[in-house]
Chain A
Amino acid sequence: MVYRILSTCLLSWLSLSVAQAQEIAPRYEDDPFRQLEELLPTPNDVRAASGAPGHRYWQQRADYDIKVRLLEDRHALVGEETITYYNRSPMPLSYLWVQLDQNRFRPDSIDRNSRVAPNFDQFYYKQLGELLIREDFQGGHQITRVADAEGADLDHAIIGTMLRIDLPQALAPGGKTSFQIGWTYQIVDAKRIRTRGGYEYFEEDKNTIYEIAQWFPRMVAYTDVNGWQNKQFIRRGEFTLEFGDYRVAITAPEDHIVASTGVLQNPEEVLTEEQRERLKKAAEATVPQFIVTPEEAKENEKEKATGEKTWVFEAENVRDFAWASSRKFIWDAVKHRTHGNDVWAMSYFPNEGEPLWSKYSTHAIMHTLDVYSKFTFPYPYPVAISVNGPVGGMEYPMICFNGPRPEKDGTYTKRTKYGLITVIIHEVGHNYFPMIVNSDERQWTWIDEGINSFLQFLAEREWEPDYPSRRGPARNMVPYMVSTDQVPIMTNSESILQFGHNAYGKPATALNILRETIMGRELFDFAFKEFSRRWMFKRPEPGDFFRTMEDASSVDLDWFWRGWFYTTNHVDLAIEGVRLLDLDTLDPDIEKAEDKAARDLEPEDITEERNSDLKKRTERFPELVDFYNHYDPLDVTVKDREEAKRLLEALNDDERALLKTQRLFYAIDFRNVGGLVMPILLKIKYENGSEEFLRLPAEIWRSNSQKISKLILAKDRIKSLQLDPQWETADADVENNHWPSRPVKSRFRLFKDKIKNPMREAREEKDKAKEEEEPEKEASKEDA
């Protein structure tokens, strides 16, 4: 290595690296630290600058009284409801909007007609089947009646998935109104058309599981930020709804078991005495108890009752209502005490789900409630249910639908097992976001899905060590973050590209990095809990989250929100060079000797070297030699010593002591290749064997977001440096994270190394064995 002296002022620089990329002057608009205020809405008395609900916060309310009948022979629902709507907004409303989600399945829906053509090079029967079913399926809410409280017809219009009710008189602020809607619809075959609720028919025993959701006409949310959120339901953008109280009477075949949002009001009418006794026992138990056993469910499948029973449920302060019904259901339950509340944790599943479901489902519910309550607020509802049916995974208040099942013979793969636990944690977890912290998912998918995926990761990690988590670890996000085909997290639900990564994985990873690397657990957990509690049973916007996290932590995170949520930049920090700085001792005898030593290390000029045998003119004519042929500017002169003495005398005692500092001054140059500013996590190894770990805050990039240097005062020579040694930051290119630079093997190469050696070893072993067996065949081995 060549040490080149650049200057001999007070500090002399030794450059250990020559890597120099060209400088790009940062422009103002590229400043990653500029404040978020220019993007966030101006705070007002509905939404405060702190991120809390303002002193005039308001939201609407809707209470529902519903009677519904399930017609198993026709796979249809018939319903009647009375909605009481409370206008708590400051605006009079001359019409009301109601959601008819089933209209997504109408032949003329936007969903159906905006699908692009499949690829005809390879077209499968299954696709053709779904296409034809969709073509023939007469889905959609058939509205039979819209009337006021007295039964007089109300003018109304249906626009896609939305129903507008024209009020005879505007509903004044503070007023309320009641009206009735009657409807019927054909339930979707959920095994053939992808849906969030529908039926599954079992050919073998001719029974059906119904998972019923988006089934009744529901009020559109009317909000301070969007007015009526009557953006059409296309497919992806899920729901935003108003809170209210529900009383729902479900009439189903007599031998069905009904699972539902809310608390059962008439157990003595619908449950047997034995089932009620078992529930009493389950109320005292700590592990799930069967209310309907697998054998009883099997027995129940054999015959179909002709009569009907009506199950009455009530739910307070929920934003939606869903239920499931089947004679195939096994039912287990336990009253779980968590963070001071008693919650019925219950699962409903057919024998097809066994033995997996009775082993894991209700346990997964209890676990979710424990962990999520710890990080947010105690679970406020009296019930939490997981149902197995045709839907892969979908959330509703107090109830969710989860798909994974074992094989027909009762065995199951590891994937199925963890797939089930994972999906139950996720869907039960949705009770917190968005069922209680009621964000607008038609607008922003990430608020509930991203936050929920983050909490899901925390819950998975508390289930067992090395839980196979897909979302959460920073490095899992790298391939997505470097992809060129993505949109920022802050993108409307229907326009998101790479949906799962964008709205689930990336925000979950971002929050995990905030917690582990940027804020630390203590600060993060306090602020996150504050956000959850502030917005319980209210409707937060993205800005309310960003603002609360800063308000409760005193950490300015604008750069983080801006980079991670508003751009598609990725993380890639690089060590660009290391420079060693020496203190000038002011002693010419030391300094000039060092300079000479450095000069001696310089290579000889090539011409000089090749001319070495040539007889030079000054050798032939020595009289040509004079003073300058002997003069060396690096020789120490009397004048040098006098000058040094003068300088030393001019220094005070403190300054003279500083000159004797036994420190090495290292300037480490970093470059931000990916665009996202992030903290610099640096592991330093010294030549004396000691190690140091530095966490430099992201603010280090304030003055220049592309290239900065950090001064390290070291007591020993640095041997090596490594950026982000624990892969905390989703740094995309780890090859530039080392000094001295070190090639990092690709995944492919690592795998090839891994498989190459055992094969060779195995072969060698085999050859050796052969050799020992047949030493005489040694000669012919070379041919093989």
Chain B
Amino acid sequence: MRRFLKLAGIALVFVVSAPPQAWGHPHHVSVGMADWIEETQSIEMALNVSVIDLEEVLSKRQKRALELDGKSKEIEKVLQKYFLSCFRIERADKVAIVPKWIGYEIEDDAAWIYLEIPFGRPSMKGCKIYHGVLIQEFEEQVNLLHVKRGKQRKTLKFRKRDPWQKLPAWH
């Protein structure tokens, strides 16, 4: 019981009111493509996230109505801060890797977020990734990441109860 309450206190960042209903309008799934690039030894990542969900969460954080217009530099800063806080990448040698923000754009009601993860190693073997986009805010949030290296493919699934996943040990 003590541990429970203590963690509750530590982790409090903001209070979100009830998320919108999923019935008839179920978003809460983000899908990303993560391509391993041999030349740069990095992953190039494109994430597709619901604009409605993102606007709701960021508006609550910013305490003002936020519209992702795909243009404003100020909004990009907010997004950048949020998305960089949502990812943690750990190499096999326990070195933490910080993703690089490339940018974002809006297409219909999806936001595309572009990040680059430089590994500085010839393989992802033993690397772990934490993909926490919207998983604290929405109970049912699922983040899918399609990882690709050459012809090899694997889908990683991140949820609130298992936000850390191992990257495939491909060569």
Contacts and interface: CB of A to CB of B under 8 A. Distances in A.
A423 B25 contact: yes
Contact of B3 (A120, A393, A755): A120
B21 interface: yes
Contacts of B18: 130, 190-194, 390
A469 B110 CA distance: 10
B110 A748 contact: no
11 contacts: A119-B135, A124-B136, A126-B15, A126-B16, A403-B20, A403-B21, A415-B51, A479-B48, A747-B46, A748-B35, A752-B114
Contacts of A391: 21, 23
A290 interface: no
A125 B24 CA distance: 27
Interface of A: 116-128, 130, 190-194, 196, 238, 390-395, 403-404, 407, 411, 413-415, 418-419, 422-423, 426-427, 430, 449, 468-470, 479-480, 482-485, 498-501, 504, 746-749, 751-752, 754-755
Interface string B110-150: 10101010000000000000001001100110101010000
B8 A125 contact: yes
Contacts of A498: 29, 142, 144
Interface of B: 3-4, 7-8, 11-13, 15-29, 31, 33, 35, 44-46, 48, 51-52, 55, 65, 67-68, 102-103, 105, 108-110, 112, 114, 116, 132, 135-136, 139-140, 142, 144, 146, 153-155, 157, 160-161, 163
Contacts, number: 161
B21 A123 contact: no
A637 B6 CA distance: 98
B9 to A, nearest CB: 9
A747 B116 CA distance: 13
B19 to A, nearest CB: 8
A153 B23 CA distance: 38
Contact of B46 (A415, A419, A748): A748
Contacts of A127: 139
Contact of B160 (A119, A191, A469, A747): A119
Contact of B144 (A130, A404, A485): A485
Nearest to A503: B26
Contact of A392 (B22, B29, B109): B22
A430 B109 contact: no
A123 B161 CA distance: 11
Contacts of A430: 24
Given A118-B160, A123-B7, A484-B155, A746 B44 contact: yes
Most buried by B among A120, A196, A498, A748: A748
Given A119-B161, A427-B24, A751-B114, A407 B65 contact: yes
Given A119-B135, A748-B116, 17 more contacts: A119-B161, A122-B136, A125-B12, A192-B18, A193-B18, A194-B21, A393-B21, A393-B23, A395-B24, A403-B21, A419-B52, A468-B108, A470-B108, A479-B144, A482-B153, A483-B157, A485-B144
A500 B3 contact: no
B21 to A, nearest CB: 3
A500 B28 contact: yes
Contacts of B23: 196, 238, 391-394
A749 B51 CA distance: 22
A746 B161 CA distance: 31
Contacts of A427: 24
A747 B33 contact: yes
Contact of B21 (A128, A394, A449): A394
Contacts of A121: 7, 11
Given A414-B67, A415-B51, A124 B11 contact: yes
A475 to B, nearest CB: 11
A163 B140 CA distance: 30
A418 B44 contact: no
B146 A119 contact: no
A755 B19 CA distance: 34
A413 to B, nearest CB: 4
Q: When A and B form their complex, which 8 residue pairs have the shortest distance between CB atoms, in order from nearest?
A: A392-B21, A500-B26, A393-B24, A479-B31, A392-B20, A748-B44, A484-B155, A468-B108
A415 B25 CA distance: 13
